[in-house]
Amino acid sequence: MYHDDHDHDLGLAHDLQVMERMVQRRRALRWFAGAGTLALVAGCGGSGDAETDATTAATTATPTPTPTPTPSASSSSSATASCVADASETGGPYPADGTNSSSGSTSNVLTATGIVRSDIRASFLSSTTVATGVQVTLTLTLVDVNQSCAPLAGYAIYLWHCDRQGLYSLYTVAAESYLRGVQVTDSNGQVTFTTIFPGCYDGRWPHIHFEVFSSLANALGGRYATLTSQLALPSSTCATVYADTATYPSSASNFARVALSSDNVFGDNTTAQNTQMTPTFTGTPTAGYAATAVIGLAR
């Protein structure tokens, strides 16, 4: 303890001042000793324990639940991340949509009772003949390219194509009305047709025709198509199907002489358009195929 000999015999007032200073000094020493202990604890990991406690508190805190999305009717269609506007193509010489004539009279199957159907393999006018060939179940999804590829519900799609020999009903097979039909898009923007794989005729890449109408009423009235276009069939599937020359007698030789790049319909499209306008096929000729394609409409 600090001691100064000169502090003796200087009177009571002086002694009291000295005693007060000693008390204050002891308090200070106790405070510094306490601070040193705290510093020592901190150096041994005290602050780390505090961080652990904070981390534990953060880890064990009750999380705010994330709502589980409820699937909607259009969930499958909303998966279409990108799309382009399908190219507008010719309806060709065999549309039967009221835009041309056959055998001297206007041919418009769209006004006929029974045209709204999903399975288009059978004739439905004066005959019930069923077109034979490799079965195809084709699902088309109609989307609005100007609205982030949103599905378009309530639109009508008219689909038609040639038979396995490359002939068209109501024209080159005038007595038949098969391989033609209309369907209305559902809430997913989708329609499904059951049909056959078309044959390949000379000079054209294998294809399927379609027209899009803003409503069923417009489709059944004819001549109100919003889009007229075609689907190009994938090369590998064509080669596989046409290898059966008993079912498709002339398709293999015709197919060997055509190319998508020089086709008078698909040849001037962009790569993106032809990619979208070529359906994806899965399956086999024996079991049949399931095919899907997106139709991009610029409204």
| Bridge partners, 193 (sequence order) | 138
Is the pLDDT at 184 greater than 50? The verdict is yes
Contact 144, 152 (CB under 8 A): yes
State how far the Cα of 14 lies from the Cα of 20, in Å rounded to an integer: 10
For 257, residues 6+ apart whose C-beta sits below 8 A from its C-beta are 202
Contact 135, 198 (CB under 8 A): no
For 121, residues 6+ apart whose C-beta sits below 8 A from its C-beta are 130, 131, 178, 179, 194, 195, 196
pLDDT at 223: 73
Which has more confidence, 222 or 6? 222
pLDDT at 70: 28
CB atoms inside a 10 Å sphere around CB 289: 21
User: Residue 288 has which token pair?
Assistant: 């049949």
User: Residue 280 has which token pair?
Assistant: 């994806």
pLDDT at 100: 85
Is the pLDDT at 238 greater than 70? The verdict is yes
Residues of the chain by 3-state class (helix, strand, coil), percent to 5: 30, 25, 45
Query: How large is the average pLDDT for residues 195-224?
Result: 95
Q: Using one digit for the tens of pLDDT, what is the confidence trace for 25-52?
A: 444 444 434 444 333 333 333 333 333 3
For the chain, the first-to-last Cα distance in angstroms comes to 97
**Local structure of residue 30 (DSSP, 8 states):** H
Instruction: Please identify which residue in the block is written with the tokens 């399931």.
Output: 290
Q: Using one digit for the tens of pLDDT, what is the confidence trace for 127-183?
A: 999 999 999 999 999 999 999 999 999 999 999 999 999 999 999 999 999 999 999
Contact 289, 237 (CB under 8 A): yes
For 26, residues 6+ apart whose C-beta sits below 8 A from its C-beta are none
pLDDT at 80: 74
Q: Using one digit for the tens of pLDDT, what is the confidence trace for 251-299?
A: 999 999 999 999 999 999 999 999 999 999 999 999 999 999 999 999 8
pLDDT at 64: 33
pLDDT at 85: 98
Q: Which of 242, 238, 231, 234 is CA-nearest to residue 280?
A: 234
Contact 135, 190 (CB under 8 A): no
Instruction: Please identify which residue in the block is written with the tokens 């329609």.
Output: 191
Instruction: Please identify which residue in the block is written with the tokens 């969930």.
Output: 75
State how far the Cα of 193 lies from the Cα of 216, in Å rounded to an integer: 16
CB atoms inside a 10 Å sphere around CB 84: 18
State how far the Cα of 234 lies from the Cα of 160, in Å rounded to an integer: 17
pLDDT at 20: 52
CB atoms inside a 10 Å sphere around CB 177: 24
Query: How large is the average pLDDT for residues 235-241?
Result: 98
Contact 195, 129 (CB under 8 A): no
Instruction: Please identify which residue in the block is written with the tokens 């505090």.
Output: 50
Q: Using one digit for the tens of pLDDT, what is the confidence trace for 55-111?
A: 333 333 333 332 322 233 333 334 477 999 999 999 999 999 998 877 766 789 999
pLDDT at 21: 52
